[in-house]
Amino acid sequence: MIKIKRTILVTAILISALSCVNKKAGVSVASSEKASSAVLKLPFKMPEVQIPKFKTDTLNIIDFGAVPNTEELCTKAINEAIAKCSESGGGVVVIPSGLWTTGPIKMKSNVNLHTKNGAYISFTSDLSQYKLIESYFEGNKVIRCESPIMGIDLENIAITGEGIFDGNGSQWRPVKIGKMTSNQWDELVKSGGVLSKDGKIWYPSKGAYIGNEERDKLPKIQTIANMEPFKESLRPVMVSFVNCKKLLLDGVTFQNSPAWNVNPLMCEHLTLRNLTIRNPWYSQNGDGLDIESCRIGTVTNCRFDVGDDAICIKSGKDKEGRERAKPTELFVITDCVVYHAHGGFVIGSEMSGGVRNIFVKNLTFNGTDCGLRFKSVRGRGGVVENIWMEDIRMNNIPTDAINFNLYYFGKSLSEDKLTGEVTVDKVLVSEETPVFKNMHFKNIYVNGAAQALKIMGIPEMPVENIQFQNMIIRSDVGIQMNYARKIDFKNIDLRLDKPGIAVSFSNSQNINIESIKAKGENQMFWVGGATTKDISLKTDGKKMVLDKDVKVLESIKDEVKLIE
């Protein structure tokens, strides 16, 4: 029964993906990238992104014994063609139209793996094909299974065309009961697998269950040999490139990954364009694109519909990330669309190596859980700075249009239900203190969100020097800020669907609201917090009355200026 259902699902995914994938194939001319960068007028000096070039020599996987439209593995044929191409000085390896079943594909330098229209590459459900290796996940060195597509220490590589790569993620991923209807859950349980002790999580195998639910049974000092019995729990990212230079991904679809979908790590000169990246909405760790500790690149005209964050910028986790000291920097991300995802554009929470000089423009989020998402926690360390975001459109956002959360995975906070105020004890600043500063938001348009903007900084290191300009936001709740400093608002239009406070902030300093208007609120401003000071408030065409339109904590009234 389950095999039939999975076949139907694969067919549906195939039809859907083919309908939306861009019809570009092969390697594009580098001059178009130069023209695009020139038009943008970037606020920082951006090196020219080096795009790989390839010889015209072409090899076809059929000539190496690959057989389409069967369950016969093509692993050997594909990898032999790639190796032969690389050894001969490089060129193009073609995967023709057809259904191809394969184990891990191992890329080599100077090879363009080109997929024809109608090529559907399905990675095998036989998990014995994926060896345990020393790898990375969520910013740290770990033992994981081989990725379906992988490359280490390579240069001048590409995956192009109109084909679809399917990671067969349902063979790897756990599923939470809350993310399915009762009928879907019942069918999943009937298909096999193992339930957690509380019956709320389904695991595809006993090994996956033990590796997640009975961690005390895992070896204290883990090796590839002693972790073999638990390999089903060691889910790989689908597309893994580590320490590579001049990488091009163009036109293809990556979908249904075991964990994160596309994850370049410690790479330089990346060109990612015209991609469709998809995962089931319920997929655990089902991120779309995780750019981690990489330098110099572009992400252009991509489509995301995933189970976790969509476009993620990361740089390692905690002490290991700080010691690696490789920030993600010098990226331009433009013209992308995100459908379902936890966050549309995200920085963190693994940002311990730093993130800087990122320019984001012309993104659309449709039904994405949260729009622009910035997250970390005490212990990470790292500095996120010099981030520009402009021309961002959002529709039907279930939570926050813009969110800063410096308590991710940390202690839950007690918030005032009316004002959103929180009070947190200050700790000493150290290398473990995360820093978010120097960020610019311009031309942000939101048609429906639960909340317009929420900033949850930490008292020892407030979110600092953030500029918001030209924003029109329709939401239930307006703007709430805690532990923020040097925040400027200019030309803000809030349209609240539920009566409440338009703008509230506490324990914040140097807040300047130059021009703001609101509709639907029953109170314009609330200002609280014992450490709040230097507040300047100006509305468009509305005279404000203290204690009516503006309510201020008595002890800090002298810190608030109302400007006509």
Active site residues per annotation: 308, 342
**Rg of the chain's alpha carbons, rounded to an integer?**
25
Contacts of 503 (CB under 8 A, 6+ apart): 478, 479, 494, 513, 516, 518, 524, 525, 526
Which residues on neighbouring strands pair with residue 512, listed in sequence order?
488, 536
160 neighbors 251 (Cβ within 8 angstroms) = yes
Measured in degrees and rounded to the nearest 5, phi and psi for residue 17 equal -65, -40
Contacts of 408 (CB under 8 A, 6+ apart): 348, 349, 375, 376, 377
Calpha distance 539→408 (Å, rounded): 33
DSSP 31-78: HHHHHHHHHH--SS--PPPPPP---S-EEEGGGGT--SSSS-B-HHHH
Phi-psi region at 534: left, alpha or beta (left = phi > 0; alpha = psi -120 to 50):
left
- Scanning the structure block, which residue is given the tokens 């130069």? 34
Calpha distance 505→393 (Å, rounded): 25
Helix (H, G, I), strand (E, B) or coil at 311: strand
Contacts of 243 (CB under 8 A, 6+ apart): 152, 153, 265, 266, 267
Q: Is the dihedral of CA 10, 11, 12, 13 positive or negative?
A: positive
Phi-psi region at 330: left, alpha or beta (left = phi > 0; alpha = psi -120 to 50):
left
Contacts of 270 (CB under 8 A, 6+ apart): 49, 247, 264, 291, 294, 296, 297, 298, 299
Calpha distance 304→44 (Å, rounded): 27
- Scanning the structure block, which residue is given the tokens 């189970």? 307
CA contacts within 13 A on the Cβ side of 287? 26
Q: Exposed, middle or buried by CB within 10 Å (0-12, 13-18, 19+), for 110?
A: buried
Write out 477-545 in H/E/C secondary structure: EEEEEECEEEEEEEEEEEEECCCCEEEEEECCEEEEEEEEEEECCCEEEEEECCCCEEEEEEECCCCCC
